[in-house]
Structure 1
Amino acid sequence: SNNMRFSKTSLSLFLFFILFSSSHATSRITLQQPFPTTKFSSNQRAEQLIRSFNLFPKHSANIHGEYSIDDFVPGKIVEKTFSFLASSNGTSVQDLGHHAGYYSLPRSKSARMFYFFFESRNGAKDAPVVLWLTGGPGCASELALFYENGPFKINNDLSLSWNEYGWDKGSNIIFVDQPIGTGFSYSSDENDIPTDEAGVSNDLYTFLQAFFKEHPQFVKNKFYITGESYAGHYIPALASRVHKGNKNKEGIIINFKGLAIGNGLTNPRIQYQAYTQFALDNKLITKEDKADIDKLVPSCLDATKSCESEGGDSCNIAADECEQIFSSILSVAGNVNYYDIRKKCEGSLCYDFSNVETLLNKKTVRDALGVGDIEFVSCSNEVHRALNQDLMKNYEGDIPPLLEDGIKVLIYVGEFDLICNWLGNSNWVHAMEWSGQKQFDASKTSKFLVDGTQAGLLNSYGPLSFLKVNGAGHLVPMDQPKASLQMLVNWIGGNLNGTKI
């Protein structure tokens, strides 16, 4: 029946950097009934969920045989400056420092990776370079750029206005469309889409090498990797790759200082176990419901263990097993928006980000960005599918070696997100074994203040910080823009409870 349709929706899709609670809205299933086991193809599930996001990409990925490869020069960057908004003080296009470009991936047949680069809005040449990665897997960075922490916001009439709390106020920021096939990144060959984090992180590492070669004046600036949701996989993998590249003196030494994961999925095994407690604490389910749903946990744990040791298809099985915990909660909770439990969904629609597609597919905009006839793919079900077996893998293990070398790690989580909730994230951060684990566990919780008011709760020791953000769901920079910019600036400055912006 229609009510059952999404009850077995693949969790990897739930992790679309922002998606919305779909037809669980209508399926209040009592737990006395057997849990629904309807299975849909990965493709059908992706299509349905992308629609419920009010997004309508024309292609499942930017992979087309007819894309020309004649002019493909491996390792080359082609970049241009552009202006979406005149600066208030009459600065020229060049001086605004807004760039859009393509990088030709050397390992590929014809893959071109698209990125935006915004120089610091206040003109600070020594401001750190920040890379932002949107999750999915397969959602474009432009979703964050226009709805969260980029320089602009889209108005209802498709005009743009400056984002008062864009992260370009505290950094030189790069938004990249990755993996290949996402956003404006494209190839003529589907084999160019990476299928694991080794592929994802190598592509990004070679891009960063080319980026710093193109912009040598930023090589000495401090460099930070940030992002959210499925980027809880990307970020530790890339951080580890950059760290290794630096140690082995591969190419340009990147001045890598820290990573920040917002509402991430990093250690699925620990995070899945926290769902029922978070749901109970927030009155989404009853104690009786929790006892019932907790019976699903052992098979999830067994399956994740097999995924870790065997990989391959055992990881698909783990995703199916564990996702039953999540879908069972939703079948009880009804039409709650699992990215922000304060909100409900209207039918299938929980967020409306359709304006970004309309804007970026306008010919004038595409010409300004130098993307030609490439259609913008907001979220790619093909890219998501390519990473199916990556979903349940644990990337926490990449983090302790970074901490031991003094790389700063910030895990921040909006308190009202269910899918990548603060409790599951806090649990894996506390369970992580490193030399400062005991001291971190014993650290006092302090208030994170913005304008003298509590905006979150903070635990820190040495290079590790965990911040629970008040009044935010999955998309912290959208829900609490000022607090998120304050967080970035303070964290980079070495004191999360530091001074005002």
Structure 2
Amino acid sequence: MGPAAQARALLGLLLVAAAAASPENFLRLPSSAPRQLAPRFPRSDAVDLIRALNLHPADASPRRPSAGDAAAPAGTLVERPLRLASLADGGGALARRWGTSATAPGTTASPTPTTQGCSTSSSSRGGARRIPVVIWLTGGPGCSSELALFYENGPFHIADNMSLVWNDFGWDQASNLIYVDQPTGTGFSYSSDSRDTRHNEASISDDLYAFLQAFFTEHPTYAKNDFYITGESYAGHYIPAFASRVHQGNKNNEGIHINLKGFAIGNGLTDPAIQYKAYPDYALDMGLITKAQYNKISKIVPTCEFAVKLCGTSGTVSCLAAYVVCNTIFGSIRTIIGSKNYYDIRKPCVGSLCYDFSNLEKFLNLKSVRESLGVGDIEFVSCSPTVYQAMLLDWMRNLEVGIPDLLESDIKVLIYAGEYDLICNWLGNSRWVNSMEWSGKEAFVSSSEKPFTVDGKEAGVLKSHGPLSFLKVHDAGHMVPMDQPKAALEMLKRWTSGNLSDPSSKLDFTM
């Protein structure tokens, strides 16, 4: 298709999107729909989606550190130990578990701009060096990984009195765990140069790779450990690109060799063409819409598929048209379900909000916490509309395309999804996994499903062949480690030990 034909197709897509967004279009969205659900421009939509999580972010443009911040050479990692004075019992629980004072070994923060704006926290309960290194990336795009650190799989949760309490199912029990705030402008990460704002996976992956090189330079012992990449939601884009960048770096002998063994995506957005097409099917199957509503919404699916095809993998302006067209599908369903939580359809949103994560910002804005982290006057941004908007051309790109090469290199891939999530539902994820072209496709598709059991009870349904696994998690929504923490920890333990389907699998955490 030549440039002129592409321009005509793009104009047609935008006209279709405009028609689909109109109250008089064939979807006939209810006139009583809440104002915040009415079609808006992408930036307004970004702010609304983020505020729906009760995060109330400020507009996070790249920021400068405070005047007193010490400079560090570019490409280096600046760390500081965290003294956890906020533990609920004043450190007693910490002493019992670590056998130390209230400074947790291995728990550090790096709020510096010297690794492309990445802000990190890491920990390993017990300090065992042989267990794997696991990095976690939260999606958004533009949402802080501290959301997962304190509400999902980190060592601690935040109590209402702003103290920290132990998470009995933190992933630090089975790994040396790293959280990264990225892209630049997310969480406490920042840059003094607006050119550091990221718009695509290539630049994000380069930043993350540079961070890993700095981390393993500072901690060479951990470079020998198995390394896994994990995350959820929009990290379905970040993770495959990051894994490919690490794999490429290893093949090209760039810097320190990273012992990449696998990556896991939870309720992710990876192959938009397949996943957006699954929205009406999932909504109908779960009783969220009627058959008549399904038929109307499904009429936009072919246009969405064409738009995504036009977008391809290049991230051109046609990808913005695809974003507008395809999100008409989700927006229509979201309008119909009204007050239901589209991250967990079993639950209502609380008022105009769906989850209350406000304690995170309260905690990270405490003077004592900010002093411990060494972040100066940098503003913490839970989810950044600016980062979200900067990534709009990346949204509809297909990131599945790089995964087959990783599978052929025997890098393990785990795709898991809570069954009650609408926005990145298990059905769409299952479909793209089964459609993926690789040497093991036929055997994977024909493999039988097996129960994933925890404590003798079925916690999910597992399908595996070779390095590829898909796990549908029962009784969970978008954030599986928050909804089913024990099952999520068991999943991590068994997967990293190579025995995902074996409930008797145990890890040796000896030094």
Is 2:121 the partner of 1:112? no
CA distance in 1, matches of 2:370, 2:505: 38
State the partner residue of 2:15: none
CA distance in 1, matches of 2:307, 2:441: 27
State the partner residue of 2:385: 381
Q: 5 Å matches for 1:388-407?
A: 388-407=392-411
CA distance in 1, matches of 2:280, 2:245: 34
CA distance 1:305–1:200, shift in 2 (3 Å)? same
Choose from 451, 474, 487 the match for 1:470: 474
State the partner residue of 1:254: 258
Task: Check whether the contact 1:447–1:454 (CA below 8 A) recurs between aligned residues.
Answer: yes
State the partner residue of 2:488: 484
Task: Check whether the contact 1:76–1:103 (CA below 8 A) recurs between aligned residues.
Answer: no
State the partner residue of 1:344: 348
Unaligned 5+ runs, structure 1: 1-26
CA distance in 2, matches of 1:381, 1:287: 35
Residue 391 of structure 1: SS of its match in structure 2? coil
State the partner residue of 1:325: 329
CA distance in 1, matches of 2:312, 2:170: 38
State the partner residue of 1:42: 42
Task: Check whether the contact 2:151–2:482 (CA below 8 A) recurs between aligned residues.
Answer: yes
Superposed displacement of residue 122, structure 1: 2.6
Tell me which amino acid in the other structure corresponds to 1:117: S
Deviations 1:446-469 (A, max 9, x none): 000001110000000000000000
CA distance in 2, matches of 1:33, 1:213: 55
Superposed displacement of residue 329, structure 1: 1.4
CA distance in 2, matches of 1:233, 1:441: 23
Superposed displacement of residue 442, structure 1: 0.8
Superposed displacement of residue 72, structure 1: 4.6
Task: Check whether the contact 1:77–1:104 (CA below 8 A) recurs between aligned residues.
Answer: no
CA distance in 2, matches of 1:308, 1:283: 33
CA distance 1:387–1:32, shift in 2 (3 Å)? closer
State the partner residue of 2:357: 353
State the partner residue of 2:148: 144
Task: Check whether the contact 2:61–2:386 (CA below 8 A) recurs between aligned residues.
Answer: yes
Is 2:100 the partner of 1:91? yes
Residue 324 of structure 1: SS of its match in structure 2? helix
Task: Check whether the contact 2:66–2:378 (CA below 8 A) recurs between aligned residues.
Answer: no
Q: 5 Å matches for 1:352-371?
A: 352-371=356-375
CA distance in 1, matches of 2:109, 2:313: 41
State the partner residue of 1:308: 312
State the partner residue of 2:426: 422
Task: Check whether the contact 1:67–1:188 (CA below 8 A) recurs between aligned residues.
Answer: no
Task: Check whether the contact 2:77–2:114 (CA below 8 A) recurs between aligned residues.
Answer: no
CA distance in 2, matches of 1:43, 1:224: 33
Task: Check whether the contact 2:113–2:189 (CA below 8 A) recurs between aligned residues.
Answer: no
CA distance in 1, matches of 2:316, 2:104: 49
CA distance in 2, matches of 1:222, 1:173: 12
CA distance in 2, matches of 1:54, 1:226: 24
State the partner residue of 1:244: 248
Task: Check whether the contact 1:134–1:229 (CA below 8 A) recurs between aligned residues.
Answer: yes
CA distance in 2, matches of 1:193, 1:105: 15
State the partner residue of 2:437: 433
Deviations 1:209-268 (A, max 9, x none): 000001111010000000000000000000000000000000000000000000000000
CA distance in 1, matches of 2:196, 2:480: 32
Residue 331 of structure 1: SS of its match in structure 2? helix
CA distance in 2, matches of 1:45, 1:295: 23
Is 2:195 the partner of 1:186? no
Residue 467 of structure 1: SS of its match in structure 2? strand
CA distance in 2, matches of 1:416, 1:188: 41
Task: Check whether the contact 1:233–1:265 (CA below 8 A) recurs between aligned residues.
Answer: yes
Superposed displacement of residue 500, structure 1: 6.0
Superposed displacement of residue 73, structure 1: 1.9
CA distance in 2, matches of 1:65, 1:386: 22
Unaligned 5+ runs, structure 2: 1-22, 507-511
Tell me which amino acid in the other structure corresponds to 1:294: S
Deviations 1:294-314 (A, max 9, x none): 101111011111111764210
TM-score w.r.t. structure 2 length?
Answer: 0.88
State the partner residue of 2:10: none
Residue 431 of structure 2: SS of its match in structure 1? helix
Aligned residues: 469
Tell me which amino acid in the other structure corresponds to 2:120: Y
Residue 374 of structure 1: SS of its match in structure 2? coil
CA distance 1:32–1:234, shift in 2 (3 Å)? closer
Superposed displacement of residue 287, structure 1: 1.4
State the partner residue of 2:213: 209
Is 2:62 the partner of 1:57? no
State the partner residue of 1:173: 177
CA distance in 1, matches of 2:70, 2:168: 43
Residue 342 of structure 1: SS of its match in structure 2? strand
Choose from 448, 455, 465 the match for 1:451: 455
Tell me which amino acid in the other structure corresponds to 1:169: Q
Deviations 1:161-184 (A, max 9, x none): 000000000000000110011101
Superposed displacement of residue 94, structure 1: 5.6
Deviations 1:391-450 (A, max 9, x none): 000000111111111100000000000010000000000000001000001111000000
Is 2:297 the partner of 1:293? yes
